[in-house]
């Protein structure tokens, strides 16, 4: 019983964080058709901005939303500076990989210079601990498990029920037609990046509440988010969400039964197998040209 | 190579190698090649101190890795993000072969190249059906997988601690330590010459033309009888051999092996060398390796600002000159030549 509860809880918790990260990656991929390798750095920056605001004396309830909004601005700026000028180039996928990697390195080293290498921590969403099903958990983690699906649901409503969200999806489906019907495609590209960056920043705030922060804290979650996105299919938003939880459970079960060391290797083995059998991802019905 | 590719038989054998328009005649290229590397061979006469030579040796190693990456990335259009894993496999293959199996260092160096080639063939299997971003993701996953296996087998590989006291190379009874690094300098240069010669001959051959054809128009190339499976495997295997040897040489030269070779930072630097130099040139990647390595050293005083300046520089060049440094040189040369010789 306690083993099952532990796997279930661990899977839900890790899955929530992965989902927050992966959705942003998938959103940028579907709308712009590029992979944002500075996504992990967004996560780190969100956490550090929140930490800095709290250090300046703001209460957490004010600091967290401000950090998320600031991250939206960072995402927009990054898109305008290193992604938008490249749109239309034949080798855009590759060039954006290198420009976002370079931008990530710039922000990461900038954070290291400003805030130093010493580990920091931001306050938990809710302090305290609880015991559920024989497993000791912190209320912070419970809060993340509850809040994440709400945010993802809000994103779903935004993308499916609002005019702006539909415009975003229209750009994702057919860019030329979106131009023709008068959508401001450039602004929508910026919006996709802004949403992705604020979600990553929020994930960073969540993570900074239970683990020590460092300037390189985003690289491992980025890697996991990449796996999730590939696993779930790159062409939709819901695919990566399901995949995030599935990978979360898989990881929790693996580390319970095989130990922490073998988990990443098993995970990558599963990933490569998935791609050999279903290159478009297990939850995808249609793909964006696989290119 | 089977003759299924060209049903029309040509009168003479020389026509077998396709000549693309605007291609440099091989005689010209050979002269430039010999002069360029002869100048590099004279560098130790100018730079007597061991530190300057150390920088040059590192630039040679990076140049081998970057130019081989250009073969798969630029010519083949295969976004192999596991290229640095092949380098890392070379590092660890050499270290383990010399340390545990007690191989002769030179045999281990060669064997590391072979092992890296086999690993490249292995990673080709899952990506045969994939394109573009999916290849990036799988090969990226492969690199992480190799790293995780090395970390988890810490009893043999030293895990995150790495390996130390790896046997170095030897040249007869020559003292490798007290010669101001000149022996290692010339070995590294010889490897770079061999690698560059191999790459240039490969890309100018029929096989090289066929992988470019696959990159530019896959359907047409396949319909003309180019096998995508065989050529993709050939591309990755060819790009792996000298990469693995470079890794082995790196381990022999540094005398230690660490997990850092699989890290994102090294991959980013090498990838920027490939892209900064301009893809599908081989020489561009080599020039960019020298420029970036020396530039990084020149900025050593800037400390923490160094990676930031490098990042801004990379972004700037990528935005302004999509075809990299070679494109930049060509553009400025074109402007100069245009002034000197006005077209009729």
pLDDT (tens digit per residue) in B154-171:
888 887 788 888 888 888
CB neighbour burial string for A29-64, b if at least 16 within 10 angstroms, e if fewer: bbbbbbbbbbbbbbbbbbbbbbbbbbeeeeebeebb
- Which residues have C-beta within 8 Å of that of residue A162, sequence separation ≥ 6? none
Helix (H, G, I), strand (E, B) or coil at A136: strand
pLDDT (tens digit per residue) in B227-279:
888 888 999 999 999 999 999 999 999 888 888 888 777 888 888 888 888 77
Which of B196, B213, B207, B202 has the alpha carbon at shortest distance from B77? B213
- B311 → closest Cβ in A94, A97, A103: A103
Q: Which residue of A has its CA nearest to B136?
A: A94
Instruction: Assess B19–A contact: CB distance below 8 Å, yes or no.
Output: no
**Strand duo A129-132 + A135-138: pairing:** antiparallel
Whether the pLDDT of residue B114 is over 50: the answer is yes
Chain A: closest CA distance from residue B244 (Å) = 22
Whether the pLDDT of residue B16 is over 70: the answer is no
User: Are A102 and B152 in contact (CB < 8 Å)?
Assistant: no
User: Are B151 and A261 in contact (CB < 8 Å)?
Assistant: yes
Q: Read off the pLDDT band of B342 (50, 70, 90).
A: low
Most confident of A64-78, A128-142, A179-193: A64-78
Which whole number is the average pLDDT over A37-52? Answer: 93
Tell whether B15 is covered by a domain: no
Which of A217, A223, A9, A220 has the alpha carbon at shortest distance from A121? A217
Evaluate whether B164 touches B226 at the Cβ level (below 8 Å).
no
Considering only A10-19, A141-150, B118-127, B134-143, which range has the smallest mean pLDDT?
B134-143
Tell whether B252 is covered by a domain: yes
Chain A: closest CA distance from residue B157 (Å) = 14
Whether the pLDDT of residue B338 is over 90: the answer is no
| CA–CA–CA angle B269, A233, A231 (5° rounding) | 70
User: Are A109 and B308 in contact (CB < 8 Å)?
Assistant: yes
Q: What residues in chain A have their Cβ under 8 A from chain B's Cβ atoms?
A: 29, 35, 81-82, 85-86, 89, 91, 93-95, 97-99, 101-103, 105-106, 109-110, 112-113, 219, 223, 226-227, 229-230, 234, 261-262, 264-265, 268-269, 271-272, 275-276, 279, 290-291
User: Are B304 and A109 in contact (CB < 8 Å)?
Assistant: yes
Which whole number is the average pLDDT over A15-41? Answer: 89
CB neighbour burial string for B188-207, b if at least 16 within 10 angstroms, e if fewer: bbebbbebbebbbebbbeeb
Most confident of A82-91, B63-72, B215-224: B63-72
- A113 → closest Cβ in B125, B304, B322: B304
| CA–CA–CA angle B148, B153, B157 (5° rounding) | 100
Q: Which residues of A touch B159 (CB under 8 A)?
A: none
Q: Read off the pLDDT band of B4 (50, 70, 90).
A: very low
Considering only A171-185, A222-236, A245-259, which range has the smallest mean pLDDT?
A222-236
* A-B contacts at Cβ under 8 angstroms: 121
The tally of CA atoms less than 13 A away on the side-chain side of residue A17 is: 28
Structural tokens at position A157: 């409503």
Which whole number is the average pLDDT over A188-197? Answer: 93
Which of A10, A35, A40, A75 has the alpha carbon at shortest distance from A224? A40
Angstrom distance (rounded) from CA A151 to CA A91: 34
Tell whether B25 is covered by a domain: no
Tell whether B293 is covered by a domain: no
Residue B23 has what pLDDT? 67
User: Are B132 and A291 in contact (CB < 8 Å)?
Assistant: yes
User: Are B308 and A265 in contact (CB < 8 Å)?
Assistant: no
User: Are B144 and A264 in contact (CB < 8 Å)?
Assistant: yes
Tell whether B6 is covered by a domain: no
Residue A16 has what pLDDT? 92
Query: What percent of chain A shows pLDDT beyond 70?
Result: 94
**Overall domain count for chain B:** 1
User: DSSP letter string over A148-171?
Assistant: HHHHHHHHHHHHHHSHHHHHHHHH
Residue B20 has what pLDDT? 54
- A99 → closest Cβ in B132, B151, B315: B315
Q: B interface mutation test: which of A95, A98, A116, A266 has the most B CBs within 10 A?
A: A98
Q: Read off the pLDDT band of A211 (50, 70, 90).
A: confident
The domain of B258 spans 47-262
Structural tokens at position A230: 């590939």
Q: A interface mutation test: which of B311, B316, B322, B323 has the most A CBs within 10 A?
A: B311
pLDDT (tens digit per residue) in B288-326:
899 888 888 887 777 778 788 888 888 888 888 777 777
Q: How far is CA A291 from CA B90, B202, B221, in A?
A: 31, 27, 18
Whether the pLDDT of residue B77 is over 70: the answer is yes
Whether the pLDDT of residue B7 is over 70: the answer is no
Q: Rounded to 5 degrees, what are φ and ψ at A32?
A: -100, -25
Tell whether B303 is covered by a domain: no
Evaluate whether B101 touches B225 at the Cβ level (below 8 Å).
no
Tell whether B125 is covered by a domain: yes
């Amino acid at each position: 019983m306690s083993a099952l509860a532990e796997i279930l809880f661990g899977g839900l918790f890790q899955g929530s964080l992965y989902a927050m990260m992966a959705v942003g990656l998938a959103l940028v991929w579907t709308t712009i058709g590029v992979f944002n390798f500075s996504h992990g750095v967004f996560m780190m920056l969100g956490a550090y901005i929140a930490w800095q605001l709290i250090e300046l004396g703001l209460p957490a309830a004010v600091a967290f939303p401000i950090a998320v909004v600031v991250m939206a601005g960072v995402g927009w700026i990054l898109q305008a500076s290193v992604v938008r000028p490249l749109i239309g180039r034949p080798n855009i996928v590759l060039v954006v990989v290198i420009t976002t990697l370079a931008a990530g390195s710039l922000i990461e080293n900038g954070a290291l210079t400003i805030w130093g290498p010493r580990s920091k921590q931001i306050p938990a969403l809710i302090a305290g601990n609880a015991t559920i099903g024989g497993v000791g958990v912190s209320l912070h983690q419970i809060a993340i498990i509850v809040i994440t699906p709400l945010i993802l649901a809000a994103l779903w409503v935004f993308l499916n029920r609002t005019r702006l969200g539909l415009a975003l999806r229209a750009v994702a489906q057919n860019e030329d037609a979106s131009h023709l019907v008068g959508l401001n495609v450039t602004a929508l590209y910026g919006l996709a990046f802004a949403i992705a960056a604020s979600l990553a920043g929020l994930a960073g705030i969540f993570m900074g509440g239970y683990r020590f922060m460092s300037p390189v804290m985003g690289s491992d979650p980025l890697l996991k988010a990449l796996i999730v996105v590939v696993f779930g299919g790159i062409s939709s938003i819901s695919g990566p969400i399901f995949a995030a939880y599935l990978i979360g459970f898989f990881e929790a079960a693996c580390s319970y039964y095989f130990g922490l060391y073998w988990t990443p290797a098993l995970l990558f083995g599963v990933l490569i197998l998935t791609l050999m059998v279903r290159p478009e991802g297990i939850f995808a019905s249609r793909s964006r040209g696989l290119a | 190579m089977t003759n299924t590719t060209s049903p029309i038989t040509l009168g003479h054998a020389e026509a077998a190698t396709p000549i693309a328009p605007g291609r440099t005649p091989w005689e010209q290229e050979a002269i430039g090649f010999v002069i360029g590397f002869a100048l590099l061979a004279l560098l130790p006469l100018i730079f007597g101190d061991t530190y300057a030579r150390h920088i040059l040796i590192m630039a040679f190693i990076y140049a081998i890795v970057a130019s081989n990456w250009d073969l798969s990335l630029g010519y083949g259009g295969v976004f192999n993000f596991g290229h640095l894993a092949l380098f890392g496999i070379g590092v660890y293959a050499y270290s383990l072969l010399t340390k545990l199996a007690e191989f002769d260092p030179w045999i281990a160096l060669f064997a590391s190249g072979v092992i890296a080639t086999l690993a490249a063939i292995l990673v080709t299997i899952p990506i045969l059906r994939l394109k573009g971003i999916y290849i990036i993701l799988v090969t990226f996953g492969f690199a992480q997988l190799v790293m995780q296996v090395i970390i988890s087998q810490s009893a043999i590989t030293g895990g995150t601690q790495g390996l130390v006291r790896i046997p170095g190379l030897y040249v007869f009874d020559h003292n490798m330590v007290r010669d101001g690094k000149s022996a290692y300098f010339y070995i590294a240069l010889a490897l770079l010459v061999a690698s560059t010669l191999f790459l240039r001959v490969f890309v100018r051959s029929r096989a090289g033309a066929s992988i470019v054809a696959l990159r530019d128009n896959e359907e047409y190339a396949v319909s003309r009888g180019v096998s995508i499976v065989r050529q993709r495997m050939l591309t990755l295997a060819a790009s792996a051999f000298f990469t693995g040897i470079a890794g082995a040489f790196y381990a022999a030269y540094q005398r230690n092996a660490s997990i850092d070779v699989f890290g994102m930072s090294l991959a980013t630097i090498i990838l920027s060398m490939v892209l900064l130099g301009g893809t599908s040139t081989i020489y561009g990647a080599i020039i960019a390796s020298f420029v970036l390595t020396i530039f990084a050293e020149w900025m050593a005083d800037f400390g923490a600002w160094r990676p930031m300046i490098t990042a801004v520089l990379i972004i700037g060049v990528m935005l302004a000159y999509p075809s990299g440094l070679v494109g930049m040189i060509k553009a400025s040369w074109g402007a100069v030549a245009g002034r000197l010789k006005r077209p009729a």
